[in-house]
């Protein structure tokens, strides 16, 4: 099977699209928290690779094309933010304090868990940028000496968990303010969280978009400061 698919440069691309389409259909039919299209797509892709004994490298040749859309999609997040710029100006101090606090909480939590579990510095540096968008996370991890593959996995898992649990956690902790909801989604679950925030409303999506950008900048600044906490 690997030999046949190696001739196709788009096998992974179409497999990812097809499984995501299936995920959307399932979510529409069963609108439950766990029926997240991205989660379903991930499970189905893994299942196909295992059943047909297809190497991940063969899949990634085509699937990597999807990553080209990451930058333009991220830029598009500026549109709802621009539309809500007046609200942003009125709440600028609260927004900045919220994002910086979220970044600090993420860094300290990762440090605490790594210290508690006895993990080495490589793992610690790989997990530090897990709550920011992939492009920034890879750069931070590589600069600190982390494992970029582990970083990518942690970013994806963090985003998926945030996207799946956002509404549940907001209901559980009675978070109703649209600005707070948006900042929480973007600060904790980057672009995937922003996608979920847009389901709440345009204001939530705008605040989440802002959180993604600012959290990325703050993480780039904070990560080296925390780098020496675990050798």
Residue pLDDT, tens place only, 98-152: 889 998 898 889 999 998 999 888 899 999 999 888 878 888 888 888 888 899 8
Provide the pLDDT for residue 21.
94
Provide the pLDDT for residue 194.
83
Provide the pLDDT for residue 160.
86
Q: Is 189 exposed, middle or buried (0-12, 13-18, 19+ CB in 10 A)?
A: buried
Q: Which two tokens stand for residue 210?
A: 């802002």
Provide the pLDDT for residue 221.
86
Q: How far is CA 143 from CA 115, 125, 126, 150, in A?
A: 21, 9, 10, 14
Provide the pLDDT for residue 231.
62
Provide the pLDDT for residue 75.
72
User: Crossing angle of helices 148-172/37-51, nearest 10°?
Assistant: 140
Provide the pLDDT for residue 209.
84
CB hemisphere CA count around 17 (13 angstroms) = 11
Provide the pLDDT for residue 1.
58
Provide the pLDDT for residue 44.
93
Contact 45, 58 (CB under 8 A): no
Provide the pLDDT for residue 225.
82
Low-confidence ranges of the chain (pLDDT < 50): none
Q: What is the pTM of this model?
A: 0.77
Contact 107, 222 (CB under 8 A): yes
């Amino acid at each position: 099977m690997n030999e046949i698919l190696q001739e196709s440069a788009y096998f992974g691309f179409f497999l990812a699209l097809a499984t995501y389409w299936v995920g959307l259909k399932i979510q529409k039919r069963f609108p439950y928290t766990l029926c997240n299209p991205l989660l379903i797509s991930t499970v189905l892709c893994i299942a196909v690779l295992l059943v047909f004994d297809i190497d991940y490298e063969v899949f990634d040749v085509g699937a990597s094309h999807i990553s080209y859309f990451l930058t333009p999609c991220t830029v598009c997040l500026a549109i709802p933010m621009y539309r809500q710029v007046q609200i942003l100006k009125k709440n600028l101090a609260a927004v900045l304090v919220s994002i910086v606090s979220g970044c600090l909480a993420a860094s300290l939590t990762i440090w605490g868990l790594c210290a508690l579990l006895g993990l080495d510095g490589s793992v610690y540096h790989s997990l530090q940028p897990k709550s920011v968008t992939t492009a920034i996370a890879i750069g931070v991890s590589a600069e600190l000496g982390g494992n970029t593959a582990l970083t990518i996995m942690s970013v994806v898992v963090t985003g998926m968990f945030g996207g799946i649990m956002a509404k549940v956690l907001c209901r559980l902790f009675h978070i109703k303010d649209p600005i707070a909801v948006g900042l929480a989604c973007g600060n904790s679950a980057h672009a995937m969280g922003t996608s979920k925030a847009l389901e709440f409303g345009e204001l939530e999506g705008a605040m989440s978009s802002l959180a993604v950008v600012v959290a990325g900048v703050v993480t780039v600044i904070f990560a080296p400061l925390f780098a020496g906490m675990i050798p």
